[in-house]
Amino acid sequence: MKQNLHATGLGLLAALTPGLMADYPIASHRYLADPTSLVTKDRVYIYCSNDDESPVQGSYNIPNVICVSSGDMKNWTDHGSVFRASDSTTWAKKTWAPGAIERDGKFFLYYGNGGANIGVAVSDSPVGPFKDPLGKALISHRTPGVQPARDMWLFDPGPFIDDDGQAYLYFGGNGDDNVRVARLKRDMITLDGEVIKMNATNFFEAAWVFKRQGVYYFSYSTTPRAQMRIDYMTGANPTNGFAYRGVIASQPPINNNNNHAAQFEFKGRWYHVYHNRIVAREAGIPTGFRRNLAIEEMKFNEDGSIQKIVYTTNGVAQVGRLDPFQRVEGETFNAQRGVETEPCAEGGMNLTDLQSGDWVRVVGVDFGAKGAKKFSARVASAEQGGTIELRLGGPEGKLIGACKVENTGGWQTWKTVSGEVSGATGVQDLCLKFTGGDKPLLNLDYWRFE
């Protein structure tokens, strides 16, 4: 993906033009789609179909689930692949449109094995690794209550736990009568009774349920004939009696194809996360099978109806500040140019294949009144190394320090390096710009200021 993004300058545009391309796209270094959310006390985790391995033309290839997260809705961390069906199951090869939820200290990930059946995986952490607890599908066409159905797709599982503790899994596709909901037992991997049939006008895919002020909201993507919007219904019961309420969001800009979204509350605000195809378009490649993430804030009227989303490129406010005096993962950023990520031998992910001129930007960094005097970074290099320039605002902004990186003996041979800093006070946007020769410079695991 590096070559395509280098060619477009998409990340560069983000830094040089205030307010442009900040939330649309997010995680712009990857092709991700079909987002759903899991909210904890201090972070929101977005689980996605992974289009990175899909061919530029032909069809989707989605063998694993990618997770990204944020604590402030502006800077996003790439946690990489948290589950790959072909490696972790004996029966599934695909992981379409995942949905995750937490219960009793464990995290449960539901996914579509194509449109044929639905699986579940379990982890002790929201970022995996997730493991297959059943050795088979959780739901198939033979599951009691699924049939009869006409040309039904079994995918897009959306988990939900009600206030009384009862858990549900919503799924289905390709027809108004093809909505299904299954009750789950406390273990979250066992069905509790027959699957329940539901109906939604112009239902196509992307079933998702949330609850607000005692009202259940069921959102979904409509059919191509109905413009592939995100519509919604509301009701007083999680399995029946829903009434159509209207449109949450029209077909996203720079999409013109399948649509998928989820809604969630985080730190007192509501959000609508979705995908479009601006990264592929700006990269100059066909957009059919390469999607990317985007997000908007969502608001409600006094009667509980949802105000229709107005798409923006920078419509989400930062909630909180980034603390530079704590460890910050290199793969955490708001905008970028040319970066890639990979699993790190020391755990988590790291930035890799950094070329001269590549950069990442984090926003809303609070250096405080006293400011910072020193910068340190965990780095590795099997080549000539390079320099990490610290600049305020963007890649051409004020230089406040630099950190020299030399050959460490390998791309996963890690060393901590440091440099002096001057002029870093107050709340700033910070750019880490990588400079050096014409070969790959270095890998970056994490950084912090003192």
Enzyme catalytic residues: 34, 205
Q: CB of 60 within 8 A of CB of 52?
A: no
Measured CA distances, 445 to 76, 83, 266, 328, 441 (Å): 15, 22, 28, 9, 14
DSSP state of 189: S
Q: How far apart are CA 64 and CA 37, in angstroms?
A: 17
What strand order describes the sheet that includes 261-266?
Answer: 261-266, 269-276, 292-298
Helix (H, G, I), strand (E, B) or coil at 139: strand
For residue 447, the one-letter residue type is W
410 and 344 Cβ atoms separated by less than 8 Å? no
- Residue from 194, 183, 116 nearest 155 by CA: 116
Please, how many CA atoms are within 13 Å of residue 338, restricted to the half-sphere of its CB?
19
Q: Is 8 helix (H, G, I), strand (E, B) or coil?
A: helix
Residue the block writes with tokens 């460490």: 408
Cβ(22)–Cβ(314) under 8 Å? yes
Q: How does 242-276 read in b/e, with b if 16+ C-beta sit within 10 Å? A: beebeebbbbbebbeebbbbbbbebeeebbbbbbb
Pair 398, 343: CB distance under 8 Å: no
Residue entry with tokens 């290099």: 381
CA pseudo-torsion sign 380, 415, 361, 358:
negative
In whole angstroms, what is the distance from residue 215 CA to residue 232 CA?
12
User: d(Cα 166, Cα 40) in Å, to the nearest integer?
Assistant: 19
